């Protein structure tokens, strides 16, 4: 048993979609969350930049004596997972891509899978490779959606929001035309707009929450190391962001259904 916290990070508020599932599944676990709200979005940066920024994010969380790291960001998983694993030594580092690809492969009936993600995730081709290993005949239609993360970070998350619906319609149309039966929300920000995506794709299309899917893999990795928290432990949460604390707390309140203001601090991430 290990009651130390889990470190969870993302470029911004998106990783809260993984936090929500962790709170529902294993409330006895402690965690420290970091969202790099000063430097979001990562999705239009080069792979080199994404590696440099995210290695700094992980370094900050390792100062919190974490027992594991969850990269609750597809863009970072797609571009920097091996580097962060190498930096972290014995600490297990779990990404979101493989668990989401597994969930999509299990969900699809037709083998036609849609992917919406940042440009940096789409460009990496990780999802096509992961799905092809699991379901060689599957066809992945991938769409980069650069306008969605800035909209979500600034609070445009409600289905019906005109700016959100216009952008989402442009990105989802090719997926509807391809006749996909499953859509991977290949950016952890997108569960925050699942209502809008669901409305535009229709009720028969399954949406895969990549952050949520990763929680099973995280808990399995801890169990394998006998490092789950004591079942009777009270859990505990701490949140850090690197800028715009008020926006972070307000998007979090809408998404997690709780006020995390008293639990949230700002960190100078450039110092790590």
Binding residues (CB under 6 A) for ligand DGL: these are 10-12, 14, 40-43, 73-75, 118, 121, 149, 187-189
The answer to whether 145 is a known catalytic residue is no
Distance (Å, whole) CA 179 – CA 78 = 26
Q: Shortest gap between Cβ of 178 and ligand DGL (angstroms)? A: 21
Question: Which residue from 176, 182, 172 is spatially nearest to 207, judged by alpha carbons?
Answer: 182
Question: Which residue from 53, 65, 106 is spatially nearest to 216, judged by alpha carbons?
Answer: 106
Distance (Å, whole) CA 244 – CA 155 = 12
The answer to whether 241 is a known catalytic residue is no
Q: Name which of 94 and 229 has its Cβ closer to ligand DGL.
A: 94
Q: Shortest gap between Cβ of 117 and ligand DGL (angstroms)? A: 6
Q: Name which of 149 and 213 has its Cβ closer to ligand DGL.
A: 149
Q: Shortest gap between Cβ of 269 and ligand DGL (angstroms)? A: 14
Q: Name which of 4 and 55 has its Cβ closer to ligand DGL.
A: 55
Catalytic residue among 73, 138, 140, 148: 73
Q: Shortest gap between Cβ of 65 and ligand DGL (angstroms)? A: 25
Catalytic residue among 21, 185, 187, 205: 187
Q: Name which of 43 and 114 has its Cβ closer to ligand DGL.
A: 43
Answer for the pair 6, 68: CB distance below 8 angstroms, yes or no. yes
Q: Name which of 10 and 229 has its Cβ closer to ligand DGL.
A: 10
Q: Shortest gap between Cβ of 233 and ligand DGL (angstroms)? A: 28
| Tokens found for residue 159 | 């289905």
Active site amino acids: 73, 187
């Amino acid at each position: 048993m290990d009651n130390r916290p889990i470190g969870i990070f993302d470029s911004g508020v998106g990783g809260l979609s993984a936090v929500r599932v962790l709170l529902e599944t294993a409330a006895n676990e402690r965690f420290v969350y970091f969202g790099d709200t000063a430097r979001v979005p990562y999705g239009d940066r080069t792979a080199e930049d994404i590696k440099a920024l995210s290695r700094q994010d992980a370094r900050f969380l390792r100062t919190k004596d974490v027992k594991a790291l969850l990269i609750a960001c597809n863009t970072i998983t797609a571009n920097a997972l091996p580097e962060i694993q190498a930096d972290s030594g014995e600490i297990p580092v779990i990404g979101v891509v493989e668990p989401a690809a597994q969930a999509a492969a299990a969900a699809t009936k037709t083998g036609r899978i849609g992917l919406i993600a940042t440009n940096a995730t789409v460009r990496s081709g990780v999802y096509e490779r992961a799905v092809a290993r699991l379901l060689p005949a599957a066809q992945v239609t991938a769409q980069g959606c650069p306008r969605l993360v800035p909209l979500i970070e600034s609070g445009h998350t409600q289905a019906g929001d005109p700016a959100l619906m216009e952008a989402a319609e442009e990105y989802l149309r090719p997926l509807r035309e391809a006749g996909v039966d499953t859509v991977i929300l290949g950016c952890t920000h997108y569960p925050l707009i699942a209502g809008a995506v669901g409305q535009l794709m229709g009720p028969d299309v399954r949406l895969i929450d990549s952050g949520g899917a990763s929680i099973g893999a995280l808990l399995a990795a801890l169990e394998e190391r006998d490092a789950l928290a004591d079942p009777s432990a009270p859990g505990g949460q701490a949140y850090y962001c690197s800028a715009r604390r008020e926006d972070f707390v307000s998007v979090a309140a809408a998404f997690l259904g709780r006020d995390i203001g008293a639990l949230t601090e700002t960190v100078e991430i450039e110092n790590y």
